[in-house]
Amino acid sequence: MSKQLGQVMSQLRKKAGLTQRQVALAIGITDQTVSNWETGQRKPQLTPAQTLKLCNVLNCDLEELASKDK
């Protein structure tokens, strides 16, 4: 079963033991934005630097983050 990006992000965030607020603060966005991503209301529009920070905070690589078939 294919998963949407928001579902993958939510799963990785929970696996890392982080709140939406913690992720948001780490990459310089609002927690509402993270919520919107996870619910599929919005798609991330991150700079390369923010994408790297997101991968670091979620303890994953870009390939794992982009994977929708986990």
Q: pTM of the prediction?
A: 0.86
Q: Spell out the per-residue pLDDT of the chain, length 70, in tens.
A: 346 889 999 999 999 999 999 999 999 999 999 999 999 999 999 999 999 999 999 999 999 888 765 4
The boundaries of the domain holding residue 33 are 5-66
Q: How many domains does the chain have?
A: 1
Sign of the dihedral through C-alpha 6, 14, 68, 65 = positive
pLDDT at residue number 27: 95
pLDDT at residue number 4: 87
CATH number at residue 28: 1.10.260.40
